[in-house]
Amino acid sequence: MTKLIIAGVHHDTNRSRSIVYVRWQDDPEKNLGLTVPFGCSMNTLQEEATKAVEALVTELTSATVEFPWEETRKP
């Protein structure tokens, strides 16, 4: 089972958003930043980070990987 560790949180007051940063416990080279509700407290940060990870997992299940120029390569 993969364990993600909350490494930090940034509150961007100019854009009214917050970003939580997580890293893989078994591979600190892997890092991820995810948007969470603006100004969320330390009391709700773990819950909001979990929701953000779950939303990303859902989105990635149908994601495709393409080159940005893929449309121009087609005959």
Q: What pLDDT is attached to residue 24?
A: 97
Domain boundaries, the chain: 4-64
Q: What mean pLDDT comes out for the span 2-12?
A: 96
Residue 69 to residues 20, 60, 62, Cα–Cα distance (Å): 31, 21, 20
Q: What pLDDT is attached to residue 71?
A: 65
Q: What pLDDT is attached to residue 66?
A: 86
- pTM more than 0.75: yes
Q: What pLDDT is attached to residue 37?
A: 96
